[in-house]
Amino acid sequence: MKKFLIAGLCAMVLGAIPSGAQWGPRAIPEPTDGLKDAYKDYFKIGVAVNNRNVSDPDQIKLILREFNSITAENAMKPQPTEPKKGEFNWEDADKIADFCRQNGIKMRGHTLMWHSQIGTWMYQDEKGNLLPKEEFYANMKHHIQAIVNRYKDVVYCWDVVNEAVADSPVYPGRPELRNSPMYQIAGEEFIYKAFEYAHEADPNALLFYNDYNDAEPAKSQRIFNLVKRMKDAGVPVDGIGMQAHYNVYGPSMKEVADAIELYSTIVNHIHLTELDIRINEDMGGGLRFNQGQAQVSDWERTLQQDQYVQLFKVLRKHKDVIDCVTFWNVSDKDSWLGVRNYPLLFDENYKPKQAYLAVKGFDPKMDNFVVAEDFKPSELNQPGQQYPMVNSQGYARFKVDAPKATSVIVSLGLGGSGGTVLHKAEDGSWMGTTDGPMDEGFHYYHLTVDGGVLNDPGTNNYYGSTRWESGIEIPAHDADFYAMKNVAHGKVQQVLFWSKSTNQVRVAWVYTPAEYEKNAKKKYPVLYLQHGWGENEYAWWNQGHANLIMDNLIADGKIQPFIIVMTYGMTNEGFRPGQMPAAAPARPAPGAPAPGGAPQARPARPAGGMGMMMNNGFEEVLCDELVPYIDANFRTIAKKESRAMAGLSMGGMETHTITLARPEMFGWYGLLSGGTYNPDEVKGTGVKGIFIGCGSKEGPDQIRNAAKALQDAGYNAKGYVSEGTAHEFLTWRRCLYEMAPMLFK
Ligand code: XIL
pLDDT tens column, 210-245: 999 999 999 999 999 999 999 999 999 999 999 999
Q: pLDDT band for position 613 (50/70/90)?
A: low
* Distance from residue 332's CA to the centre of ligand 1 (Å): 15
* Distance from residue 699's CA to the centre of ligand 1 (Å): 47
- Which atom of ligand 1 is the closest one to the Cα of 114? 13
Q: Vertex 592, ends 603 and 497: CA angle to 5°? A: 55
Average pLDDT over residues 246-260: 97
- C-alpha span between 224 and 221 (Å, rounded): 5
- C-alpha span between 383 and 365 (Å, rounded): 37
* Distance from residue 329's CA to the centre of ligand 1 (Å): 10
Query: Among candidates 297, 303, 410, 404, which has minimal Cα distance to 355?
Result: 303
Residue 397 has pLDDT above 50, yes or no: yes
Q: Is the CB of 503 under 6 A from ligand 1?
A: no
Q: Virtual CA dihedral for 114, 117, 122, 128, nearest 10 degrees?
A: 110
What proportion of the chain, given as a percentage, has pLDDT over 90?
83
Q: pLDDT band for position 602 (50/70/90)?
A: very low
The alpha-helical segments, DSSP class H, found in 119-188 are 133-151, 181-186
Helix, coil or strand: residue 262:
helix
- Which atom of ligand 1 is the closest one to the Cα of 328? 3
Supply the DSSP symbol for 84.
Answer: B
* Distance from residue 135's CA to the centre of ligand 1 (Å): 27
Q: Using most ligand atoms within 8 A of CB, pick from 76, 114, 274 the residue to mutate for ligand 1.
A: 274
- Average pLDDT of the chain is 90
Q: Is the CB of 71 under 6 A from ligand 1?
A: no
Burial class (CB in 10 A: 0-12, 13-18, 19+), 571: buried
Per residue, the 3-state secondary structure of 299-365, as one string, reads HHHHHHHHHHHHHHHHHHHCCCCEEEEEECCCCCCCCCCCHHHCCCCECCCCCECHHHHHHHCCCHH
Identify the pLDDT of residue 590. Answer: 34
Q: Is the CB of 282 under 6 A from ligand 1?
A: no
Q: Using most ligand atoms within 8 A of CB, pick from 278, 336, 337 the residue to mutate for ligand 1.
A: 336
- Which atom of ligand 1 is the closest one to the Cα of 50? 5
Q: Cβ(576)–Cβ(568) under 8 Å?
A: yes
- Which atom of ligand 1 is the closest one to the Cα of 329? 3
- C-alpha span between 271 and 79 (Å, rounded): 24
pLDDT tens for 542-563 read 999 999 999 999 999 999 999 9
Identify the pLDDT of residue 415. Answer: 55
* Distance from residue 216's CA to the centre of ligand 1 (Å): 20
Q: Is the CB of 274 under 6 A from ligand 1?
A: yes
Identify the pLDDT of residue 283. Answer: 73
The residues near 264 (Cβ < 8 Å, ≥ 6 apart) are: 270, 318, 320, 321
Residue 12 has pLDDT above 70, yes or no: no
Helix, coil or strand: residue 670:
strand
Query: Among candidates 66, 164, 59, which has minimal Cα distance to 111?
Result: 164
Side-by-side strand order, sheet with 563-567: 491-499, 504-512, 563-567, 526-530, 643-648, 668-672, 689-695, 717-722
Q: Please, which contacts does 700-709 make with residues 24 or more away whose CB atoms are closer than 8 Å?
A: 702/14, 702/15, 702/676, 703/676, 706/676, 706/677, 706/678, 709/678, 709/679
The H or E element spanning position 622 is: none
Query: Among candidates 161, 150, 157, 163, which has minimal Cα distance to 70?
Result: 157
Instruction: Decide the pairing of beta strands 668-672 and 643-648.
Output: parallel
* 567, β-bridge pairs: 508
The residues near 172 (Cβ < 8 Å, ≥ 6 apart) are: none
Q: Is the CB of 273 under 6 A from ligand 1?
A: no
Q: Is the dihedral of CA 625, 631, 637, 643 positive or negative?
A: negative
Whether cis (ω within 30° of 0) applies to the bond prior to 403 is: no
Which residue's CA is minimally distant from atom 16 of ligand 1? 73
Q: Using most ligand atoms within 8 A of CB, pick from 74, 76, 79 the residue to mutate for ligand 1.
A: 74
* 720, β-bridge pairs: 693
Q: Which of 134-148, 301-315, 598-612, 661-675 has the lowest mean pLDDT?
A: 598-612
Q: pLDDT band for position 66 (50/70/90)?
A: very high
Query: Among candidates 435, 469, 475, which has minimal Cα distance to 453?
Result: 469
Identify the pLDDT of residue 286. Answer: 65
pLDDT tens for 683-736 read 999 999 999 999 999 999 999 999 999 999 999 999 999 999 999 999 999 999
Q: Please, which contacts does 579-588 make with residues 24 or more away whose CB atoms are closer than 8 Å?
A: 579/504, 579/505, 579/506, 579/507, 580/504, 580/505, 587/502, 587/503, 587/504, 588/503
* Distance from residue 482's CA to the centre of ligand 1 (Å): 60
Q: Is the CB of 196 under 6 A from ligand 1?
A: no
Query: Among candidates 518, 463, 527, which has minimal Cα distance to 670?
Result: 527
The alpha-helical segments, DSSP class H, found in 350-404 are 354-360, 364-367
Q: Is the CB of 469 under 6 A from ligand 1?
A: no
Residue 17 has pLDDT above 60, yes or no: no
Q: Cβ(463)–Cβ(559) under 8 Å?
A: no
Q: Is the CB of 304 under 6 A from ligand 1?
A: no
Identify the pLDDT of residue 588. Answer: 32
Catalytic residue among 82, 163, 300, 654: 163
Maximum distance among all alpha carbons in the chain? Answer: 111
Phi (first) and psi of residue 489, to 5 degrees = -110, 135
Q: Is the CB of 411 under 6 A from ligand 1?
A: no
Interior/surface letters 493-507, b for 16+ CB within 10 angstroms, e for the rest: eebebebebbbbebb
Residue 640 has pLDDT above 70, yes or no: yes
Instruction: Decide the pairing of beta strands 408-410 and 447-449.
Output: antiparallel
pLDDT tens for 178-221 read 999 999 999 999 999 999 999 999 999 999 999 999 999 999 99
- C-alpha span between 181 and 132 (Å, rounded): 11
Q: Cβ(99)–Cβ(106) under 8 Å?
A: no
Catalytic residue among 220, 407, 642, 649: 649
Q: Is the dihedral of CA 173, 175, 180, 182 positive or negative?
A: negative
Residue 274: active-site member: yes
- C-alpha span between 557 and 496 (Å, rounded): 32
Q: Using most ligand atoms within 8 A of CB, pick from 214, 328, 335 the residue to mutate for ligand 1.
A: 328
- C-alpha span between 381 and 457 (Å, rounded): 9
Q: Cβ(414)–Cβ(435) under 8 Å?
A: yes
* Distance from residue 101's CA to the centre of ligand 1 (Å): 23
Identify the pLDDT of residue 338. Answer: 87
* Distance from residue 73's CA to the centre of ligand 1 (Å): 7
Residue 163: active-site member: yes
* Distance from residue 203's CA to the centre of ligand 1 (Å): 27
Phi (first) and psi of residue 590, to 5 degrees = -55, 135
- C-alpha span between 393 and 376 (Å, rounded): 11
Average pLDDT over residues 394-403: 96
- C-alpha span between 624 and 223 (Å, rounded): 78
